[in-house]
Amino acid sequence: MIEDIKRDAEQRMQKSIESLEGQFNKIRTGRATPAILDVVRVSYYGVDTPLSQVANVIVEDARTLLISPWEKKLVPEIEKAIYRSDLGLNPNTTGDVIRVPMPPLTEETRKTYIKQARQEAENARVAIRNVRRDANGMIKDLLKEKEISEDDQRRAEEAIQKVTDKYIADVDKHLESKEADLMAI
């Protein structure tokens, strides 16, 4: 029973890390990466479809993404979707491919993005702590119902705290990596 609670807590904490990685992918760095365009949705036969499902997105060089739509008629739709995405990118269309240059980051935008990354990391930490609180609450309920002893409760809470510490450290490591990416020129 305690193992189930611990396993569930660990899975939920892992989902928080995955969510954090997704949020970090939305924060663009000076380098080109296809993950930046994950938020872009293209109208494909009246359905909003992720860009990755209607085109190939590859890194042409360090600061340029190359988008090759699977259907030529999607080129203007993809271009509109990138403009609407609020990423601050200006696609250039040449025939049936779209090039998306990554503008260099100014010092001000770097600081803004770092602030945003720190906020996302703090949100992940809070989510992980909430999972810990829920797990400890379930363990206390088991103690109240006399299904476990106080020693079992203490050991279980210590185990959950170790898992929490591991995932909080993981968040810090991801944040450190993202900040280094943002500060690289």
Give the CATH fold of the 31-101 domain: Gyrase A; domain 2 (3.30.1360)
**pTM for the model:** 0.74
CA distance linking residue 74 with residue 77, whole number of Å: 5
- Provide the CB-side half-sphere exposure for 137 (13 A, CA): 7
CB 122 within 8 A of CB 71: no
34: which DSSP letter? G
Token representation of residue 116 = 């945003």
The backbone region for 34, taken as left when phi is positive above 0, alpha when psi lies in -120 to 50, beta otherwise, is: alpha
CATH class held by domain 2-25+106-183: mainly alpha
pLDDT 10s digit of each residue in the chain, 185 long?
888 989 999 999 999 999 998 888 877 776 777 888 888 888 888 888 888 889 999 988 888 899 999 888 888 888 888 888 877 788 888 888 999 888 877 888 888 889 999 999 999 999 999 999 999 999 999 889 888 888 989 999 999 999 999 999 999 999 999 888 888 76
Strands 97-101 and 64-69 come out as: antiparallel
| Domain regions of the chain by residue span | 2-25+106-183, 31-101
